[in-house]
Chain A
Amino acid sequence: MGTKSISDINDIRDKIVNGAEKESAKIYVHMGTCGIASGATEVLESLKKDLKENNIKAAKIIKTGCAGICSKEPLITVAMPGQEPIIYEYMDESKVQRVVREHIISGTVVKDFAFARGMEAEIQERIENKGAPAGQKVLDSSIPGIEEIPFFKLQKQRVMRNRAVIDPNNIEHYIGRDGYQGLIKALSEMSAEDILKTVLDSGIRGRGGAGFPTGLKWKFAAQTENSTKYVLCNADEGDPGAYMDRSVLESDPHSILEGMVIAGKAIGSHKGYVYCRAEYPLAVEILNKAIKTAKKYNLLGENILGTGFDFDIEVYEGAGAFVCGEETALMRSIEGFRGNPRPRPPFPAVAGLKEKPTILNNVETLSNISQIVAKGSDWFKGIGTEKSPGTKVFSITGDINNVGCVEVPIGTKLSSIVNEIGGGMVEGKNFKAAQLGGPSGGCIPLEHLDVEVDYETLQEYGAIMGSGGLIVISDTQSAVDIARFFMQFCQEEACGKCIPGREGTKQMLNILNRIYSGKGRTDDIEKLEELALVIQSTALCALCKTSANPVLSTLRYFRKEYEEAITA
């Protein structure tokens, strides 16, 4: 049991911000799932070996989560005291050897594989300073500063502010980056009503898909009287092509725990669950460790930081069912049943998990909460659009040059995400469409590429913000095949409880298969449209209600491809 107080946490922070930590050499190894899959573990091992062989004891190795730009992995960042940090790309064992010998021992940058100068977390400081912050010696000005690279320059880090700079398994790193300041404020200076008001005023909307105002959801649960209430974190990221939540879980788990405790105080709950898919073993491991450490530091559990508030969190491993991302299905799953959704009302804020008032927020939403509370609602509204303030994280993949996890102000143009941050199409491929929102979403074609990415505007064009998967498709892909792909996914993942979901998706898939294989019938398009509308209005839950979207959206922009496939 922890016995720490608020001043203990603040002491830890002050020590890190002002302390001797700055004086030692640091080597950051970026070890998210993608990094590990690209060879980061081997890079780490050879780095340890080379440091030992050269008898370098003063250098600290920091294992962080993802550095954002997956297409350059494995990446390491070398920060020697008094010098600009250097990010190295595409590392392997022999490259590590050269970095240790030339950069760490002799102080010369290995230009051959240097990617950028500086670190993402320092971008703002670097822009204000027109280069390296005071006290950092520039080693080689011919390497681009990170603030000059569009992939990083156009992003705005809030949810991802700690990526690549903290070790997710080291709670003191998080505290040193102002972590748990929101919690301290919420527990020691604010009433539940104050917290609710701040979250409402911030205008934050659920980042899981539909964009429902978070504060409103909390308010409903707060108003329902019950001695037992629950706070749930939806980390069941089942959207194919989306991995932002995994990235946050793996690089900054405490930000989610902190958000959940604050939510607990706001609605009067003392128990939370993180529902995380078992396909994310690293995220589950990191989360469990974070919970254990937070308890040790008295930031979770009984009488948190001596403020008299109790809150406990457990991780619940999902067993692989897309429908469990739907809130009522997710709750059934935690209760130990098949993840079947149920009709609403009653809404979970009134009767959710075990029939008790429950709120469910996704990873990204919760990760924003502590900063909103610490810095205020006006700060949060400082970026984004009037109706949708803040940032949104997207995982951008497909046929573009810079694949990765990016966080941009809501309202950023899609063209800017694809062409500037994404670095445009890979050589030899032409842009056809950007698919946003996975199986509930739709395509935006070339003629609308300048659309602003916010909840309402995207819907006008037949796509959705969704959870943030953004796949850039080239003109070598068939629109019918893309629609077929998503319909197959929905059909396989439909829980089978309602007829539109069970039979409707199957019929749509049959027709799409028929068209794709060249056996389409003349009235097939009409039938698809009719089925789509029936499923949209009659299915039980959002999974099947929205399953028609990819079909409708490809029909809207690429109808000709369907017609050609049928007449051919």
Chain B
Amino acid sequence: MVKEKKPEIEESLSQEEIQELDKLIDKHGADEEQLIPLLEKVQVLLGYIPVSVQERISNKTGIPPNHIYGVVSFYSYFSMEAKARHRIQVCMGTACYVKGGKEIAEKIEADYNIKLGESTEDGRFTYENARCFGACGLAPILVVDGKIFGKVSIDSVDAILDEYK
């Protein structure tokens, strides 16, 4: 007898997460206009939107999978990679850039041995750039898990990140 292969989604998500996901899909329905709001909520729920999740959305809503993939890959808010425990965003708005954002980015890349968009091996940090949080008065800005740190200097980066284990 052929052993039935476990669906891919069950390998990456827990049963609770799948249930929550289904609830969101049911709530937003099959309307294409609701796709981006749905994906935004899924991104918040799971931290990423892997292909297996995209397939489930497609199966339940009838929206073609290539349309969903196209949307997920287009907008920077969505990610297809699992995230680490903490998310570091270095603001690369113009004000931050000219006031030292570039040097902060370089320091994080070198000292934490991490490239843009990647996570550290210990699963501690995912490192991203962000485009202007609109708090330019505090440039340069570093954002960790949504908390904004303003007027960051190269010397203060380690102390900020040390708080996140």
Q: Which residues of A contact B (CB under 8 A)?
A: 33-34, 36-38, 70-71, 73, 237-243, 246-247, 278-280, 316-322, 333-339, 395, 397-399, 403-404, 435, 438, 469, 471, 473, 477, 482, 485-486, 489, 493, 495
Is B154 in contact with chain A by the CB < 8 A criterion?
no
Which residues on B are within 8 Å of A, measured CB to CB?
Answer: 31-37, 39-40, 67, 70-71, 74-78, 92-95, 97-99, 130-139, 141, 148-150
- Closest B-chain residue to A333, C-beta based? B36
For residue A333, which residues in chain B have a CB less than 8 angstroms away from its CB?
Answer: 36
Q: Quick check: B98 and A240 within 8 Å, CB to CB?
A: no
**Which of A73, A317, A435, A473 contacts B40, CB < 8 Å?**
A317
Contacts A37-B148, A319-B39 given; does A336 touch B32 at CB 8 Å: yes
Which of these, B34, B78, B135, B149, contacts A243 with CB under 8 Å?
Answer: B135
Rounded to whole Å, the gap between the CB of B78 and the closest CB of chain A is 6
Give which listed residue, B31, B36, B139, B148, contacts A397 with CB less than 8 A.
B139
B137 touches A237 (CB 8 A): no
By beta carbon, the residue of chain B nearest A283 is B134
Given contact pairs A34-B135, A37-B135, A403-B137, A319 touches B36 in the complex (Cβ within 8 A) = yes
Known: A34-B138, A397-B95. 4 other contacts (CB 8 A): A335-B33, A339-B74, A395-B136, A482-B98
Decide if B94 touches A37 in the complex (CB within 8 Å): no
Nearest-CB residue, chain A, relative to B147: A37
Knowing A240-B131, A319-B36, A335-B32 are in contact, say whether A34-B98 is a contact too (CB < 8 A): no
CB within 8 Å for A33 and B95 given contacts A70-B138, A317-B40, A339-B74: no
Tell me which residues across on chain B come within 8 A of A495, comparing CB atoms.
74
Closest chain-B Cβ to A274's Cβ sits at a distance in Å of 14
- A residues less than 8 Å from B130 (CB atoms): 279
Chain B residues positioned under 8 Å from A469 (CB to CB):
94
Q: How far is the CA of A166 from the CA of B32 in the complex (A)?
A: 38
A-B contact count (CB 8 A): 132
User: What 8 A-B pairs come out closest when comparing CB atoms?
Assistant: A70-B137, A243-B134, A319-B75, A241-B94, A397-B95, A320-B76, A37-B148, A319-B77
Complex contact A319–B137 (CB within 8 A): no
Q: Bound state CA distance, A241 and B141, in angstroms?
A: 12
Q: From B35, B37, B93, B139, name the one whose CB has the most chain A CB atoms within 10 angstroms.
A: B93
C-alpha gap A468/B149 in the complex (Å): 24
CA distance A396 to B75 in the complex (A): 28
Which residue of the partner chain, among A336, A395, A471, contacts B71 with CB atoms under 8 Å? A336
Q: Offer 13 A-B interface pairs, CB within 8 angstroms, sorted by A.
A: A34-B135, A37-B150, A70-B135, A241-B132, A316-B37, A317-B36, A318-B75, A320-B77, A320-B131, A336-B36, A338-B71, A338-B74, A471-B98
Q: What residues of chain B lie closer than 8 Å to A473, measured between beta carbons?
A: 98
Q: Of A239, A242, A337, A395, which one neighbours B67 at CB under 8 angstroms?
A: A337
Interface centre among A336, A338, A438, A471 (most CB of B within 10 A): A336
Q: Within 8 Å CB of B135, what residues of A?
A: 33-34, 37, 70, 243
Q: Is the CB of B98 within 8 A of A336?
A: no
Q: How far is the CB of B153 from chain A (nearest CB, A)?
A: 15
| CB of A89 to closest CB in B, whole Å | 13
Neighbour of A337 across the interface among B71, B133, B150, CB < 8 A: B71
What's the nearest-Cβ distance from chain A to residue B53, in Å? 16
Question: Chain A contacts of B33 at CB under 8 A?
Answer: 334-336
The smallest C-beta distance from A234 to any residue of chain B, in angstroms, reads: 15
The smallest beta-carbon distance between B41 and chain A, in angstroms, is 10
